[in-house]
Amino acid sequence: MLDPAGPVAADDAIIFIDATVIMLAIVIPTILLAFWMAWRYRASNAKARYLPNWAYSGRIEAVVWSIPILTIMFLGGVIWIGSYRVDPFRPLPSKEPPLEVQVVSLDWKWLFIYPQQGIATVNQLVVPAGRPVHFSITSGSVFNVFFIPRLGSMVYAMPGMVAQLHLQADRPTILFGQSSQFSGDGFSDMQFEVKSVPAADFATWTQGAQTSGTVLDQATYTALAQQSQRVAPVIYRGVDPSLFQTIAAQKIAPGPGPEPENPAHAGREVATGGKH
């Protein structure tokens, strides 16, 4: 988060830093006062006033309540402004139209469909640097969370729903993407590589992808959706144009996820008494 590679992540970093600084307005004085109180009212200090019958001070109450209230107001303002600026559904300002990418989370890999280019990849996302990317995100199995830390904004991948996300990589680089919600046995390896490349290199990569690999139709997708771990990157040279909407509408049965009835869990169910 503190090494952003795009405008959304940069705004996220600013919100994080501003919120931390605001909260330090309570944390630092509280720590200092704790040490001061221990020193001031130590047993050997005869000058400290002893007031066993003291019960109330309006001034102290005003300070005790006003500082947290002001802090909450400042935090609320920062969060309200920031949540508008980095709203996942809000398109990023650009003279170029965004690249469309459809994202499907599976057990346990990521499928990326490029509808404009008619290609698809598994566990590899290639985007042009300096151009916004509009992600449409769903799940072909259980809930997951799509997250590229240096680009910002974690967004749920939900079965039967389509979430929207707008991101941009400012410069050519290689980034790390992941699922940030536990979703079963292969979760720890549910990662993908993000390559941000110059526009010319992206066009060259697209042309190469359109002439290699196999076609991703519903039959190929059904085989891909089977549970698997540590899946190497794959490229499909063609995609059924209606595949993403078919998955999102759950016209294709979703994957089993980490369910007790999954045969892969049978031995574990016996060992744990059927509790998951």
Cα separation of 256 and 225, whole Å? 10
Are 120 and 201 in a shared domain? yes
Domain identity same for 71 and 139: no
- Of 85, 120, 154, the last residue of a domain is 85
Q: Are residues 52 and 142 in the same domain?
A: no
Residue 199 has pLDDT above 90, yes or no: yes
pLDDT of 104 strictly over 50: yes
- Evaluate whether residue 271 is within a structural domain: no
Helices (H) and strands (E) in the chain, counts: 6, 12
* Segments forming the whole domain that contains residue 47: 7-85
What is the residue whose two structure tokens read 């919120």? 19
Number of compact structural domains in the chain:
2
Taking alpha carbons only, the member of 140, 110, 137 closest to residue 125 is 110
> Do 134 and 189 belong together in one domain?
yes
Provide the pLDDT for residue 253.
Answer: 81
**Closest to 154 in 3D by CA, of 187, 177, 186:** 177
Give residue-wise pLDDT tens across range 110-134: 999 999 999 999 999 999 999 999 9
Q: Which of 44-58, 86-100, 129-143, 155-169 has the lowest mean pLDDT?
A: 44-58
Whichever domain contains 59, its CATH number is 1.10.287.90
Edge-to-edge order in the sheet of strand 155-157: 124-128, 191-197, 173-179, 144-147, 155-157
Looking at the predicted structure, is the pLDDT value of residue 255 above 80? no
User: What's the pLDDT score for residue 273?
Assistant: 39
Which of 180-184, 189-193, 217-221 bottoms out in mean pLDDT, i.e. has the lowest? Answer: 180-184
Residue 191 lies in a domain: yes
Domain assignment present for residue 234? The answer is yes
Q: Which of 175, 107, 117, 186 is nearest to 143 (CA)?
A: 107
Same domain, residue pair 106 and 212: yes
Q: What is the pLDDT of residues 31-62, one digit of tens each?
A: 999 999 999 888 888 888 888 788 888 988 99
Contact yes or no for 68/103 (Cβ under 8 A): no
Instruction: With cut-offs at 50, 70 and 90, classify the pLDDT of residue 185.
Output: confident
